[in-house]
A and B are shown apart, each in its own frame.
With several copies, the nearest count.
Chain A
Amino acid sequence: MDTLLPVASGGAAGPLTADELRELYSLMVAVRHLDTSAIAWQRQGIIPGYAPELGQEAAQVGSGYAVDTTRDFVFPTYREMGVARTMGVDMVAYMSTHKATWHGGLYNPMESRLAPIQAVVAGSVLHAVGWAHGQTLDSQDGVALTYFGDGASSQGDVHEAMNFAAVMKAPVVFFVQNNGWAISVPTERQVAGGSVAARAAGYGIPALKIDGDDVVAVLEATRRAFAHARSGNGPVLIEAMTYRRGPHSTSDDPGRYRSLDEERDESGIDPLERLRQRLLADGIADEAFFAEALAAAKAEEEQIRTGIQALGSRPGTEMFDLVFQETTPALQAQAANWREESEHV
């Protein structure tokens, strides 16, 4: 289906360099290690919950790597830790949302170019369209990259977003991580017709259905899509086929809806292992490099864990102070009442 996007329109990038390939590997290891560690943190009581992205590292790192944070803007769901890490977002600030410190995370979305973590399924897809149309109105060349899942594709907002983007020729890249599941519902009971990419044609939007576990394919496709959108050709949709190897979240029990055998059969080769084999085969990296990358990932995780553990609660006054830019007398009265009754001041 990859032919839907004319190859010519995405000619911006040549083949990946060895440095780029090694960097992709390092990122994927860092993400994998942080992700699996976060589950352990939850079991140890460091954080109350987490939504793992195990198995989606190639899709997330590959797409996030294409972003130009000087001009693009990214709209995540609740599962894009790998994208955030790839974009260089402060990971303590990012993970704070899973510590129940602040909904949306403590990072600065304007500076990091990553919109706040979004818990409403399909909630931010339209935001990407609005932001992208703003680029057109401002004669800027930024591109909006919006993530959503196979489950999210069922929401009306996704349809409205695709139609708006296509009518307005907004520079948006719709990036679907089709990980086979929306909690307990498999894609075939969710996505009629079997493919989100197939929907795009109905709006005249070019689409790429790609192997989401091949980080090189993901990065190349995303670069093509960015180049297409950036040149004023309107939106593109990428459907990255991958597999949610873990539970939906730390409170989910996949054993209730899929067997371990099924998991093994459906998940295919681990995307990280796949890149490792490729780098080895192409002589781009060796075991020493892999060991170094893992050590770096471990050091990084430790630093982030320390940061998360040190993270205190936000002061309760922020509940009131951050509602508006211009506060109101009613809210100030409530804040005063709260201080009196809860902080006894």
Chain B
Amino acid sequence: MSNSILENVDAAGDNTADDTVTNTAADSPASTTVMSMQQALNRALDEVLAENPKAVIFGEDCGRLGGVFRITDGLQAKHGPQRVFDTPLAESGILGMSVGLAMAGFHPIPEVQFDGFAYPAINQIVCQIARMNYRSRGTMPMPITLRVPSFGGIRAPEHHGESLEALFAHVPGLKVVSPSNPHEAYHLLKYAATRPDPVIFMEPKSRYWQKGEVDVSRHDAAGSPTGAKVMREGRHLTLVAWGAMVSRCLQVAELAAEDGIDIEVLDLRWLKPIDAEALAASVRKTRRAVVVHEAPLTSGLGAEVAQLITQSCFDTLKAPVERVTGFDVPYPSGDLEDEYIPNIDRILFGIQRVLEYKRG
């Protein structure tokens, strides 16, 4: 990065940072254990099944195999084949069946095996799951928690690395959430799977095997499980991300810190509804923002985030919000995926553009 960034950083330095300590992964209370996101999700599902006799898990290869990512590993053996079962290979069937189970008083926790295979189920998700509570005037709630292994980064075959958050977030009647680390995964899944409304739970598959500290006793030190979360405090610029991009943004922030640039990283967590307050609070302080996502640029969720920030911080913004995202191209094959997913360089370039911005 060019040196010229620092000029502007200095100008930005006049914003005094809010010093509230947030519960980031750095805190390590005694009740904390280290586990992978896969283990955290598995444990959350195990507890949900134990606590709610009406919770049922199903999908392709969820039962005997424990899912291709082993998220439901051991759950059929423990809770029985009535609670955790394999379905035929048909995503519309899986989601359509979920509607009926919800009508019958169950809390379905279906899985689609990979993000790209949510498309065959979109009709049931958009026209049925998202609308049944409304259509039935609140008499038929849809407490359905749809788990979708999401995003790229694992060098997988076609359709195995998609980012559908913009689509889901646009659908009235859905809530959408994505955890960025094992702690979030455990708590957000337990939270989502006990809500009375449909939640799309987007799991960052490239993070499944990454370990992290999980404090099972409490989610956040303070604040609501439905809000965004400051993962790193900073004064000069806010990086907004979700899912797998959060850890990458934290890396970027460490690198930028070496150049004296103090970056705040906001894990959006909930992609619908978006925590507009948290965005405003952060950017009012930093006066600059970059939003990062893997999905294609055009009509991606980054546009919504940017516009929410612009609306609330128009007067304080030093530069237009920058988007660092996937391109408007189909997700490429493994060899090219590092060119497609926002990498550290591209995020740094985005930060640079914002820091160097001068009114014309």
On chain A, the residues within 8 Å of B104 by CB distance are: 73, 130-131, 134-135, 138
Q: How far is the CB of A161 from chain B (nearest CB, A)?
A: 7
Say yes or no for A144: interface residue by CB 8 A criterion.
yes
Closest residue of chain B to A73 (Cβ to Cβ) is B103
- In contact, B334 and A48 (Cβ under 8 angstroms): yes
A127 to B123, CA, bound (A): 13
Bound state CA distance, A31 and B340, in angstroms? 34
CA distance A341 to B99 in the complex (A): 36
Q: Contact partner of B136 among A109, A157, A318, A326, CB < 8 A?
A: A109
CB interface residues, A 122-144, toward B, < 8 Å: 123-135, 137-138, 144
Tell me which residues from 64 to 113 in chain B have a Cβ below 8 Å from any Cβ of chain A.
64-66, 68, 82, 86-90, 92-93, 95-106, 108
B52 within 8 A of A: no
Contact assessment for B332 and A103 in the assembled complex, using a CB-CB cutoff below 8 Å: yes
A37 within 8 A of B: no
| Minimum Cβ distance to chain A for residue B323 (Å) | 11
- Give the complex CA separation of A113 and B330 in angstroms: 24
Q: Which of A130, A160, A334 has a CB less than 8 Å from the CB of B88?
A: A160
B97 and A316 contacting across the interface, CB-CB below 8 Å: no
CA distance A189 to B96 in the complex (A): 18
| A184-B86 in contact (CB<8A) | yes
Contact of B138 among A182, A191, A314, A322 (CB under 8 A): A322
A324 touching B68 by the CB < 8 A rule? no
Q: Determine the distance from Cα of A102 to Cα of B89 in the docked complex, in whole angstroms.
A: 26
Contacts of B138 in A (CB 8 A): 322, 325
> B132 contacts the other chain (Cβ, under 8 Å)?
yes
Number of A-B residue pairs, CB cutoff 8 Å, is 255
A330 to B226: give the CA distance in the assembly, Å. 12
Q: Are B335 and A100 in contact (CB under 8 A)?
A: yes
Cα distance, A316 to B329, chains bound together (Å) = 11
* Bitwise interface map of B from 334 to 353 toward A, beta carbon under 8 Å scored 1, else 0: 11100110010110010000
- The verdict on A257 contacting B336 (CB below 8 Å), with A126-B92, A135-B104 known, is no
A237 part of interface (Cβ distance < 8 Å): no
Bound-complex Cα distance A341 to B352 (A): 12
Indicate whether A48 sits within 8 Å of B133 (C-beta atoms), given known contacts A126-B124, A160-B90. Answer: no
- Report chain A residues within 8 Å CB of B90: 154-156, 160, 163-164
What residues on A are CB-neighbors of B133 within 8 Å? 322-325
Q: Which residue of A lies closest to B297 (CB)?
A: A334
A137 to B139, CA, bound (A): 22
Residues of B within 8 A of A322 (CB): 133-134, 137-138
The answer, yes or no, to whether A338 is at the interface (CB within 8 Å) is: yes
Choose one: A116, A127, A314; the contact of B96 (CB below 8 Å). A127
A8, CB-defined interface residue at 8 Å: no
C-alpha gap A49/B158 in the complex (Å): 12
Q: Which of A261-295 contact B (CB under 8 A)?
A: none
Question: Is the CB–CB distance between A338 and B327 below 8 Å?
Answer: yes
The answer, yes or no, to whether B358 is at the interface (CB within 8 Å) is: no
- Which residue on chain B has the smallest CB distance to residue A312? B335
Report the separation of the CA atoms of residues A89 and B74 in the bound assembly, to the nearest whole angstrom: 43
Whether A127 contacts B128 in the complex (CB less than 8 A), given A116-B136, A133-B100, A163-B93, comes out as: yes
Task: Name the contact of B155 in the complex, choosing from A48, A102, A108 (C-beta under 8 A).
Answer: A48
- The answer to whether A102 touches B106 (Cβ under 8 A) is no
Report chain A residues within 8 Å CB of B127.
120, 123
Asked if residues B96 and A110 are in contact (CB atoms below 8 Å), the reply is no
Kindly identify which residue among B60, B92, B135 contacts A183, using a CB–CB cutoff of 8 Å.
B60
Pick from A126, A182, A192 the residue with the most CB of B within 10 Å: A126
The answer to whether A334 and B124 have CB atoms under 8 Å apart is no
Inter-chain contact B333/A102, CB cutoff 8 Å? yes
B328 contacts partner chain A, Cβ-Cβ < 8 Å: yes
Indicate if the CB atoms of A104 and B135 lie closer than 8 Å. Answer: yes
**Shortest beta-carbon distance from A210 to chain B in Å:** 23
CB–CB B89/A330 < 8 A: no
**Candidates A104, A111, A132, A330; contact of B276 at CB < 8 Å:** A330
Kindly identify, within residues 312 to 336 of chain A, every residue whose CB is under 8 Å from any CB belonging to chain B: 313-314, 316, 318-320, 322-326, 328-331, 334-335
CB distance from A191 to the nearest CB of B (A): 8
Are B89 and A155 neighbours in the complex by a CB distance under 8 Å? yes
Do the beta carbons of A331 and B197 come within 8 Å of each other? no
CB contact list, A177-195 vs B, under 8 A: 182-185, 189-192
Q: Which residue of A lies closest to B298 (CB)?
A: A330
> Which residues of B137-192 are within 8 A (CB) of A?
137-141, 143, 155-160, 172-173, 175
Task: Give the chain A neighbours of B65 by CB distance below 8 A.
Answer: 183-184, 256-257
Q: A67 an interface residue at 8 Å Cβ cutoff?
A: no
CA distance A73 to B334 in the complex (A): 28
Contact, CB under 8 Å: B98 / A130: yes
Q: 25 A-B Cβ contacts within 8 A?
A: A103-B158, A110-B136, A119-B116, A120-B159, A121-B117, A123-B123, A123-B124, A123-B127, A129-B93, A130-B98, A133-B101, A160-B96, A164-B87, A183-B61, A324-B173, A325-B133, A325-B196, A328-B226, A328-B273, A330-B274, A330-B328, A334-B329, A338-B339, A341-B345, A341-B346
**Across the A-B interface, the 9 shortest Cβ-Cβ residue pairs:** A130-B100, A126-B96, A100-B334, A134-B104, A160-B93, A130-B97, A131-B100, A104-B135, A184-B65
Given A120-B123, A134-B101, A323-B173, 13 extra CB contacts under 8 A: A73-B103, A115-B140, A116-B132, A120-B158, A127-B103, A130-B104, A132-B100, A138-B104, A155-B90, A190-B88, A324-B133, A324-B197, A325-B197
B binding-site residues for A, Cβ under 8 Å: 56, 60-61, 63-66, 68, 82, 86-90, 92-93, 95-106, 108, 116-117, 120, 123-124, 127-128, 132-141, 143, 155-160, 172-173, 175, 195-197, 226, 273-274, 276-277, 297-298, 327-330, 332-336, 339-340, 343, 345-346, 349
